[in-house]
Chains A and B, each alone.
Chain A
Amino acid sequence: MTIIFLLACFFFLLLLNVPVSFAIGLSTFLYMLTAMDFLPAVTTVAQRMTNGVNTFALLAIPFFILSGQIMAQGGIAKRLINCAMALLGTLPGGLALVNVMSCVFFGALSGSAVAATSAIGSFMVPQMEKAGYDKAFSGAITATASTTGLLIPPSNILIVYAIASGGVSISALFLAGYIPGLLVAFALMLLCYLYAKRKGFTGAQRLPFNVALIQIWKAVPSLALIVIAMGGIVSGIFTPTEAGAIAVVYALILAVGVYREVDLKALGNILTKTIETTSIVLFLIATSSALSWLLSYENIPQELSDVMLGISENPIVILLIINLILLVVGAFMDMTPAVLIFTPIFLPIATSLGVDPLQFGIMMVLNLSIGLCTPPVGNILFVSCAVAKTKMEHMIKPMLPLYAAMIIVLILVSAFPTISTALPNLLAP
């Protein structure tokens, strides 16, 4: 019954606009005061918080953020766009397809969907507008395509899920993200193609073969980062954390030594930006682990599980209910806190019905990706509005078919475990 007090505290603080991490920490602490004395309560919360980040696997997060920041600074957006242009530019709707492909590349490399939206969008949206595309459509396609970087590794949100789930292999999870991520990209490209056919957009002039080859070649050093990191992880040469550190060194050599676009002063800014982003995520993990310790101490996941299994014991029905709840949560809450709060609650229910934790993680991230593109709280949507210089009202209509495409992929991922588990079963170290 007192759990109502915990929820009331949390939602009050959240709606007040207290930062989510502090809202979680403070409501956990206030709840514990109802059960124990002041000193044991503060000590327990402080200790659980510290233990929550005392994990070697979590180090991968600052590393991939740092390498992504270095790569983004080094003018890689332009190279990736040129490469995608050489590959897809001549097809009908070429510019839209290039936009999607560049967002996929950039999202995977930088690990940040917001960064992908602004870096690729600020270049591609004006290009598409010049070619006659509706700018709201261009902004919408940039936003949705950028979310694929959350599924395609290296991806920080998958690391957060692995930590929250308590024991899912990060390497296997990374592998599991490929096919669903590419499925989303493919579905979006298909929509672009149909849109272009209907509106009569043709592709760009074919580039001379050797020019195209040079454009592709120039992007190879950037894309090699993914090959090195993922290759090292899959072959078991290094752990995901070590792969992150190697990625930082590689990005640094590339940006400072080869592309010569990052100097010492820029490096200071990159470090500062990385620290800011990293500590927001990690502090959330710290306070959330105090909360999830409290929840399991109070046996909440078990009780909730009984309630939900009372409704149905059919995995499809339960996954449907979880998906609907997460779609609503995602519309209001940012992805990292949502994953941290709901993984410990929903995952045990799903696994008790035989759902693979890999599949569940991919489903959850894909689901919450949709929330990033929907009002009222949707970071990527806001950024793409700014990039496309259009109002949110205008974005909704071109967004509808794109939401539909993402939801279809979500249904496929929820219904067919193989989409997520095939690659890890085949390749996981």
Chain B
Amino acid sequence: MKMDIKNSGCSPLLFWFDSLNIRLLQIILVSITAVVCWQVFSRYVLAEPSSITEELSRFLLIWLTVLGAAYAYRKRSHLGLDIIYNQGTALQRKVMYLMIHMSIALFALCVMVFGGIRLVLMTYELGQKSAVMGIDIGLVYMVLPISGLLILIYALNFMFSYAENSEPVL
């Protein structure tokens, strides 16, 4: 299920998205580690437990998960069951390939983009703030439409790049 990003016939814009996304994810992962280390440090060394670390790291984890899902999709490394796919003829595979990416695009568009935007709007209307840091909850949910849009773009790219190659690497 793996394929190299560079080989997937991508435009410079997509490549820019990729590198931006992975940089952001790396920063998030390093930040989470630092935040939780700070939690231990502040409790034992400063004897003044930090109050925001728990909430902050949870919110960062949500971003890591949802944005990371787009990255893993781009790398085609999500787990799947390929026993039937591998048995198919070239034509059957072509149909299945298109259906797979259409299903993913449907999920990304409906749940992540529409559902995500609705959640963001709802929390802003209600003025929901996080319990400890007091930041807008909408900021946390914002990652859903962002990642959903990214997945949608990737899905379209996968579908169209298929039209060019007769036998895609899956």
Contact = CB atoms under 8 A, between A and B. Distances in A.
Interface of A: 13-23, 25-26, 29, 38-39, 42-47, 49-50, 53-56, 58-59, 62-63, 66, 238, 241-242, 244-246, 248-249, 268, 271-272, 274-276, 278-280, 282-286, 332-334, 336-337, 376-377
Contact of A19 (B39, B65, B67, B104): B104
A106 B58 CA distance: 29
A21 B62 contact: no
A376 B100 CA distance: 21
B119 A283 contact: no
Contacts of A23: 103
B62 A53 contact: yes
A59 B61 contact: yes
A280 B64 contact: no
B69 A17 contact: no
B126 interface: no
B107 A26 contact: yes
Given A39-B118, A42-B114, A275-B71, 13 more contacts: A15-B84, A16-B103, A17-B100, A18-B103, A19-B104, A43-B122, A53-B61, A59-B32, A245-B33, A271-B30, A276-B77, A278-B29, A283-B66
Interface string B69-92: 101110101111111110000000
A286 B107 CA distance: 14
Contacts of B141: 46, 50
Interface of B: 22, 25-26, 29-30, 32-33, 36-37, 39-40, 54, 57-59, 61-62, 64-69, 71-73, 75, 77-85, 96, 99-100, 103-104, 106-107, 110-112, 114-116, 118-119, 122, 140-141, 144, 170
Contacts of B79: 19-21, 280, 284, 334, 336-337
A21 B83 contact: no
Contacts of A278: 29, 64-65, 68
Contacts of A336: 79
- In the A-B complex, the 10 residue pairs with the smallest Cβ-Cβ separation, listed nearest first, are A279-B68, A46-B115, A19-B78, A42-B115, A245-B36, A282-B65, A283-B69, A17-B85, A26-B107, A271-B26
| Interface of A (DSSP majority class) | helix
Contacts of A59: 32, 36, 57-58, 61
Contacts of B115: 42-47
Contacts of B77: 276, 280
Given A19-B79, A275-B64, A242 B54 contact: no
Contact of B96 (A16, A22, A26): A16
Given A17-B96, A26-B106, A276 B72 contact: yes
A26 B82 CA distance: 18
Contacts, number: 184
Contact of B103 (A15, A22, A248): A22
Contact of A56 (B57, B73, B122, B144): B57
B147 to A, nearest CB: 10
29 contacts: A14-B81, A16-B85, A17-B84, A19-B78, A19-B104, A20-B78, A21-B79, A22-B107, A29-B111, A42-B118, A46-B119, A47-B115, A47-B119, A50-B119, A58-B61, A59-B36, A63-B33, A63-B36, A245-B36, A275-B29, A275-B68, A276-B71, A278-B64, A279-B64, A279-B68, A279-B69, A280-B79, A336-B79, A377-B81
B95 to A, nearest CB: 10
Given A22-B104, A22-B107, A275-B68, A43 B118 contact: yes
A22 B36 contact: no
B33 A66 contact: yes
B67 to A, nearest CB: 8
Contacts of A21: 69, 78-79
A268 B26 contact: yes
Contacts of B25: 275, 279
Given A22-B103, A59-B32, A282-B61, A377 B118 contact: no
A280 B62 contact: no
A54 B62 contact: yes
Contact of A241 (B36, B62, B65): B36
B80 A20 contact: yes
Nearest to B108: A22
Nearest to A46: B115
Contacts of B58: 54-56, 59
A280 B144 contact: no
Contacts of A39: 114, 118
Contact of B140 (A42, A45, A50, A286): A50
A279 to B, nearest CB: 3
B40 A377 contact: no
